[in-house]
Amino acid sequence: MVDGGYIFPFPRARNSDPATSHAAAAAVTTAAAHYGLIHAALILFGPSGKDRIASLAGLDPSQVARRLPEMRRLGLVGLTGETVQSRSGRAEREWQAIDLSENLSIDLDGGLSAINE
């Protein structure tokens, strides 16, 4: 699956979903941009809940809520184990950026490889 030039390792719709869900999944072209905005907000402002991330990134909370689990599966973000207060006053999970530089090694021949696998 390609989104904004990036290949994603997981489908956006389940095989059992109706055709409309598959059509909607195929139309998604902004996930990569959202990933960048969310990751930047977490790096610049530190761990936050989805509502604060949405506010900092200029996104709707529902967009952030959809992207965070995908980003977690890609190793871009993780949970802190803490909760924070949402805009509605309820507890929500706190997310943090994963420092990708700690998990990569640059090969002098021009390649990148994971250190902690």
Query: Residues 43-99: pLDDT tens digits?
Result: 999 999 999 999 999 999 999 999 999 999 988 999 999 999 999 999 999 999 997
What pLDDT, on a 0 to 100 scale, did the predictor assign at position 1?
45
Average pLDDT over residues 23-40: 81
Residue 24 has what pLDDT? 74
Give the CA angle between residues 8, 12, 13 to the nearest 5°: 145
- Condensed to tens digits (0 to 9), the pLDDT of residues 13-24 reads 778 888 888 787
Q: b or e along 91-112 (b: 16 or more beta carbons within 10 Å of the residue's beta carbon)?
A: ebebbbbbeeeeeeeeeeeeee
| pLDDT recorded at residue 4 | 45
Q: Nearest Cα to 52, choosing from 61, 40, 39?
A: 61
Cα–Cα–Cα angle for 107, 109, 112, rounded to 5 degrees? 35
Greater confidence (115 vs 85) lies with: 85
pLDDT at res. 84: 98
pLDDT at 116: 46
**Any idea of the CA torsion for 21, 26, 30, 31, to the nearest 10 degrees?**
70
Q: What is the CATH number of domain 2-114?
A: 1.10.10.10
